[in-house]
Amino acid sequence: GFTVERIVASNWPILDESESDWKSHAAAIAQSIHLIKRRMKKLVLRLDLLSRELNKPDIWDDPMHAGKISHEHGSLMGKMKEVGAFERELLEHIDMVKLAREEDDAEMESESLKALLRMRRNSKEKELQALLSRELDSCSCYIEVYWNNIFRFSSRNRAHWQMRYLSQVAESDVNTVCFADDTGHLRYSGSDDNFCKLFWLPDESHKAVVLSEPNHQ
């Protein structure tokens, strides 16, 4: 059966949302989940450490400390379960699309495609939240670079370095540069025309804003 890893390894083309292609939707969602899981590796290590701490026989000798450990452990467990549930939902919708096609059920296929599209839009917000999470590193911004909508490079670093890089890249022949600040609510994208657009989440609608320089906020 399908897994996120197998879907990512399949290199299915990611088309525009309007194409209504289930493989494209699935590939975009799987890519986001894969990135989120990679970003959460540090949380897995932290969760293991907290679990060992909670298993100590004398942990409740200090109720305040034990309470903090227990609360953090529960919070991390919730995040891990949320990612797992999102992954299962993706695989269930893929199965429904395949079943609908086998049974020639156009209505079922249409509903499954709509569900995948909703997941695709939601997955981008989840991906951005994971990339900007202060729990995972001390970096203050995130940048994406697209070459002709084919190759995607993602990087995360401190703002002063990334903003210099953004200025350099905006003058090259790349297709798009996207910049997200640490609020997780907006991104700037600049192309080779040196214009920028304000990118609002989660509905991914675009509001054009012309900036005199790429490093303006």
Reference 40, options 10, 78, 14; nearest CA is 78
Residue 94 has pLDDT above 70, yes or no: yes
For helices 106-132 and 63-102, angle between their N-to-C axes, nearest 10 degrees: 150
Q: For residue 161, what are its two tokens?
A: 């370095």
Element (H, E) at 152: strand 151-157
Regarding whether 155 and 112 lie in a shared domain, the answer is no
Q: Which pLDDT score, from 0 to 100, does residue 35 have?
A: 85
Regarding whether 201 and 145 lie in a shared domain, the answer is yes
Residue 175 CA, distance from chain mean position: 20
d(CA 21, CA 19): 5
pLDDT digits (tens, 9 = 90+) for 24-80: 999 999 999 998 888 888 888 889 999 999 999 999 999 999 999 999 999 999 989
pTM listed for this prediction: 0.64
- The total number of structural domains that make up the chain: 2
Regarding whether 176 and 106 lie in a shared domain, the answer is no
pLDDT digits (tens, 9 = 90+) for 97-148: 999 999 999 999 999 999 999 999 999 888 877 766 666 555 555 555 444 4
d(CA 186, CA 212): 18
Ranges of H-type helices in the chain: 4-10, 22-39, 41-54, 63-102, 106-132, 159-170
For residue 45, the domain's CATH number is 1.20.58.410
Residue 180 has pLDDT above 80, yes or no: no
Strand partners, 151: 147
Q: Which amino acid is at 61?
A: D
